[in-house]
Structure 1
Amino acid sequence: MSEAATPRRIWLCADDYGLSPGVNRAIRDLIERSRLNATSVMVVGPATGRDEIGKLRDSVANSPRCAIGLHVTLTAPFRPLTMHFRPADGGMFLPFAKLLRAGLLWRLDPEIIQAELMVQLATFGEMFGRAPDFVDGHQHAQLFPGVREAFLAAVKAAAPGAWVRQGGRHQNLAWRLGSPKAVVLDILSAQFRRRAAQAGIAFNPGFAGAYDFTGRPDFGDLMRQFLDGLPEGGLIMCHPGFVDDTLESLDPLTTQREHEHAFIGGEEFPRLLAANKVTLG
């Protein structure tokens, strides 16, 4: 096979394991059918009991290509694992917009954040008996100013062999796609990549998967765009799930999760990967 025809190996990572039983079940289903090769676990989520973690461990044991990471969580409606965490809102983390604003205004205390992240990393270790393969962040909080420094320091200390997720597209494709969310991630990721490289921490060379969930777009069309130009080792995030009461009480992204699960688990997805010379390696 010529070099030009060699399939690109990418990561397809399902975020939010632990958010709800329905999300967990959808992720395990796709792992067991080799339609995912990574998932990140939200250790502060309500569906991270021994049974749910045991089922994930079993699914991954039968799918050795699948990596398990920590989905660092620092935004509401979830609660910190450390006492006296600040800033907080009614005992919960700040909402996404308030956390981002505090970061941009340099009003976050990296030491307090790092302490929380060390506990989340330790909790992952207790659940799985090892450090995570990679570390990413719920709602991309790991990229925020004031968070990224603490995030990288915690990973370096507690999971030095892990790689981390950056959210920049390869060759600035976010600008061509015209997605405001992707453009913001590109901007925030530039500094994150520089700091990760300085710390000697590996990261994914390209990223895709950001889109406006509220518009309920066709996920198959989006996946075609995500694959365009994604380099070897690049990462596509996804959010498959089945809607249940727990999910509806915690997250606005509901029925779109079922659309993502249906496409990734359907017959068209493997053909799309093959047509783009991509494999989940």
Structure 2
Amino acid sequence: MKRVILCADDYAISPGVSEAIAALIADRRINATSVMTVFDGLGPAARALDDAAADTGASIGLHVTLTGAFAPLTAGMAKPSGALPALPRLLLSALSRRLDAKAVAAEVEAQFAAFQDAFGRPPDHVDGHQHVHVLPVVRTAVIAATARHAPRAFLRDVTPARGALNGLDIKGRLIGAFSTGFARDAARAGLVTNRGFGGAYDFSGDHDFATLLGHFLAGVPDGGLVMVHPGRVDDPLVARDPLTHQREVEYSVLRGPQWREILDAAGVSLALPDLGRTKAAA
């Protein structure tokens, strides 16, 4: 059985999402989640997650958040409206190297500090909301902060596993293109990454998520990571994020009776893999 990280993104974006993810963690339906630290109420959410994850060995990580219709922790990343930039704006600024490196570094530091304050320890892994952590400028800040604050954490490499691509999969291939060289850069800092990635698909489409999940799990290698976005829709989620109904769909599959069949058919064990810590991270 290959060992795969099945990671739920966006913990703490809303109570409904957090409660759903915590339940999946407690029931050992997933073995990782990534936490957003930019919202009020993180302390109680962190305690609830720790309670749910007790004795499960689940990886609890930092979901670096630099995009979205919500306020950052520092002033430098805020637009005049007070919110973070939308992904297209951040992407253009990063690719053109016009993104303010000091402002990015300060926000990343603040989010690491917020995680430490809430959980009393560094994150087990680090990734990014909308995969911003692999972009130029942001990548440098995230790798440097991880090496300082969480040297034993693994970083999420979003280079898609070939077998986990879904047809032409423009979205997955584009995400992978932005991640070019990310694992190499992480290794130079003494950090490790997952070995293959899956889970990207068009959330706006009408998909059979059970079939998609099986495809992603079967397609990643041992040490690979599959991202999911389960949750229950509530008013805070609707106000903060356009991804709503599909979270309910994913949650239904992950907690449903077909879950075990999906894992067995893919030859997957939800045991966290040993990603091979380097001497610098030991």
Q: Match of 2:210, as an amino acid?
A: G
What is the match of residue 27 of structure 1? 21
Question: CA contact under 8 A between 1:168 and 1:207: conserved in structure 2?
Answer: yes
| Percent of matched pairs sharing the same residue | 44
Distance 1:87 1:43, change over 3 A: closer
What is the match of residue 111 of structure 2? 120
Indicate whether 1:130 and 2:121 are aligned. Answer: yes
Q: Deviations over 1:140-171 (max 9, x none)?
A: 01011121111111111111111110111224
Indicate whether 1:37 and 2:48 are aligned. Answer: no
TM-score, length of structure 2 as denominator length: 0.92
What is the match of residue 197 of structure 2? 207
The alignment of Structure 1 onto Structure 2 pairs a total of residues equal to 271
Distance 1:216 1:8, change over 3 A: same
Deviation at 1:229? 2.7
TM-score, length of structure 1 as denominator length: 0.92
* 3-state secondary structure, aligned to 1:28: helix
What is the match of residue 68 of structure 1? 60
What is the match of residue 4 of structure 1? none
List, as ranges, runs of 4+ consecutive aligned residues in structure 1 with deviation greater than 4 Å. none
* 3-state secondary structure, aligned to 1:88: coil
Q: 1:166 aligns with which of 154, 157, 176?
A: 157
Equivalents in 2 of 1:119, 1:69: separation in Å?
Answer: 15
Deviation at 1:225? 1.7
Q: Match of 1:68, as an amino acid?
A: I
Task: List alignment gaps of at least 5 residues for structure 2.
Answer: 272-282
Q: Deviations over 1:59-92 (max 9, x none)?
A: 01142x2110001100121222123x14634211
Q: 1:106 aligns with which of 63, 75, 97?
A: 97
What is the match of residue 86 of structure 2? 95
Distance 1:224 1:242, change over 3 A: same
Equivalents in 2 of 1:98, 1:236: separation in Å?
Answer: 27
Q: Match of 1:161, as an amino acid?
A: R
Q: Match of 1:205, as an amino acid?
A: R
Distance 1:193 1:258, change over 3 A: same
Question: CA contact under 8 A between 1:87 and 1:108: conserved in structure 2?
Answer: no
Task: List alignment gaps of at least 5 residues for structure 1.
Answer: 1-6
Q: Deviations over 1:223-246 (max 9, x none)?
A: 122123311110010010001001
Q: Deviations over 1:109-157 (max 9, x none)?
A: 2222112111110110010110000011001010111211111111111
Question: CA contact under 8 A between 2:171 and 2:200: conserved in structure 1?
Answer: yes
What is the match of residue 54 of structure 1? 47
What is the match of residue 137 of structure 2? 146
Deviation at 1:45? 2.7
Equivalent residues in 2 for 1:263-274, closer than 5 Å? 263-274=253-264
Q: CA RMSD in A?
A: 1.5
